[in-house]
Structure 1
Amino acid sequence: MTKLTKVIIPMFTVFMSSFSSFAAQLSIPDSFEFLAADGTTIKSGLFSRTSSIPLTNGMHNIALRYNELIVDDFSDSHKFVKSAPFIISIFIDGDDLFQLKSDSDLISNDPERYAQKPKIVISRNDGETQYKITQIQVKESGFLSQVVHGSTHQNFRDFIAQKTRLSSPNESSIVHSTKASTSKHIVTTDSETVQAKKMLEYWWQQADKKTKEAFLEWASSTTEQE
């Protein structure tokens, strides 16, 4: 797996950052996952996640969840620990940088307990900010099998997206695309590489022989083209 990991990981650690003229930006650690914002789903894959989103001035409803890959204490294999989705309602009125972080030591000491009731705090570059958190009591089932077979979990994400719709169509909305003239920089940090490696190892442990062979064939053809 070592050689394969070195070749494949860069392919799945692409975290795009947009540097166009949006009013603000919300960033999250790799242990959390964006699901939707203002009625629009935010795509997320097994090997890559959106680490920040741009926000225009106005009200925003953003759905997230805690989603961490950990080592099982009993089997030494990897498994996902997820919380139920929750929505953050926040008003943007400037070009601030917002950062979401865990507000509990349980995220490190006992991830499974933390997932039952995740506590977060959002700060901005010039001080505190006000926001509202709404819990959504719904779970996504069959995650691994859907990932292996290429499903995007659209029903689950569409349901969450509906929960984030703003009450008025005139209210501010999130923008997911940038102009072609805007330059983009792909940056991979050490923590993102480690997370991608953990996810790749987890998927490899769970995949059947046929899936592994297909994956190796694809990886080989991809590297030959570069």
Structure 2
Amino acid sequence: MKLKHAKRTLFNLVGIFLIASTATNVWANQLNTPEHIEVLTINNEKQSWYLFQDSRAIELPLGVVKLEVRYKDLIEDDNDDTHQTITSSKITMTFETRPNEVYQLKAKRPETEKEARQFAKKPVITIHSSAGVVEELNPVYIPTANVVVETPKSEPPTNDVSAKMLRYWWSQADETTKAEFIREISETKSR
């Protein structure tokens, strides 16, 4: 009698495990990203990304998904052996996921610094599923005045830590923040 009860309990536990794992798989969608495309947010939730990270897989929720992505790559300078980190403006992609789909962000990877700067001005990033190109609900491109180059070659060399920090934070700021900063500096000078 006890053996029969133990077998039934084991059978029930295995059944529950199988149902739970199947249910998890039904709701799990995966987004694969190449190393030169950075996923900034998924449904306004910040994502982590590292410059030397290989392609990666991210879990997506079922239903409408809003991604903010951008091109970001370390490119060898065309004129010497240095490297430039070139970053585009962000692109918002909104689409609807289906159960058990694997999605892939795709973008041609520039090979030269010139190509990278050109691509960063208006990157073309698409999302695909096993059925092909995914139809976006509201594709939005958010342009900025210029491409962010984190280590521009035209900068004069300096050992001043403050100047380096100022240049870094300037490259991270959006156009509105930059305009506000310039306005404040102008007001300070006129006093």
TM (normalized to structure 2)?
A: 0.56
Q: What pairs up with 1:152-171 in 2 under 5 angstroms?
A: none
State how far apart, in whole Å, the 2-side matches of 1:143 and 1:75 are.
17
State how far apart, in whole Å, the 2-side matches of 1:116 and 1:41 are.
23
Map of 1:67 onto structure 2 = 72
Q: Residue 67 of structure 1 contacts residue 80 of structure 1 at CA under 8 Å; is this kept in 2?
A: yes
Q: Residue 87 of structure 2 contacts residue 148 of structure 2 at CA under 8 Å; is this kept in 1?
A: no
The match for 1:107 among 103, 106, 110 is: 110
Q: Residue 66 of structure 1 aligns to which amino acid in structure 2? A: Y
Taking a change above 3 Å as real, the CA distance of residues 81 and 99 of structure 1, as seen in their structure-2 partners, is same
Q: Residue 53 of structure 2 aligns to which amino acid in structure 1? A: S
Matched, 1:126 2:104: no
Map of 1:82 onto structure 2 = 87
Q: Residue 108 of structure 1 aligns to which amino acid in structure 2? A: E
Taking a change above 3 Å as real, the CA distance of residues 142 and 111 of structure 1, as seen in their structure-2 partners, is closer
State how far apart, in whole Å, the 1-side matches of 2:132 and 2:96 are.
15
State how far apart, in whole Å, the 2-side matches of 1:93 and 1:48 are.
27
The match for 1:91 among 87, 96, 100 is: 96
Instruction: Give the CA deviation at 1:143.
Output: 5.4
Show structure 1 runs of 4+ deviating over 4 A. Answer: 138-145
Work out the percentage of aligned pairs sharing the same amino acid.
23
State how far apart, in whole Å, the 2-side matches of 1:53 and 1:134 are.
22
Taking a change above 3 Å as real, the CA distance of residues 73 and 143 of structure 1, as seen in their structure-2 partners, is closer
Taking a change above 3 Å as real, the CA distance of residues 49 and 64 of structure 1, as seen in their structure-2 partners, is farther
The match for 1:48 among 46, 49, 53 is: 53
Map of 2:142 onto structure 1 = 136
Q: Residue 96 of structure 1 contacts residue 125 of structure 1 at CA under 8 Å; is this kept in 2?
A: yes
Structure with greater contact order relative to length (CA < 8 Å, sep ≥ 6): 1
Instruction: Give the CA deviation at 1:142.
Output: 9.1
Matched, 1:116 2:127: no
Q: Residue 84 of structure 1 aligns to which amino acid in structure 2? A: S
Taking a change above 3 Å as real, the CA distance of residues 128 and 48 of structure 1, as seen in their structure-2 partners, is closer
The match for 2:33 among 19, 28, 32 is: 28
Q: Residue 96 of structure 1 contacts residue 126 of structure 1 at CA under 8 Å; is this kept in 2?
A: no
State how far apart, in whole Å, the 2-side matches of 1:141 and 1:113 are.
12
Q: Residue 41 of structure 2 aligns to which amino acid in structure 1? A: A
State how far apart, in whole Å, the 1-side matches of 2:74 and 2:135 are.
30
State how far apart, in whole Å, the 2-side matches of 1:61 and 1:87 are.
7
Q: Residue 33 of structure 1 contacts residue 49 of structure 1 at CA under 8 Å; is this kept in 2?
A: no
Q: Give deviations 1:93-120, integer Å, cap 9, x for gaps.
A: 2211111111x5x733611101111112
State how far apart, in whole Å, the 1-side matches of 2:78 and 2:149 are.
22
Instruction: Give the CA deviation at 1:51.
Output: 2.2
Gaps of 5+ in 1: 1-19, 160-226
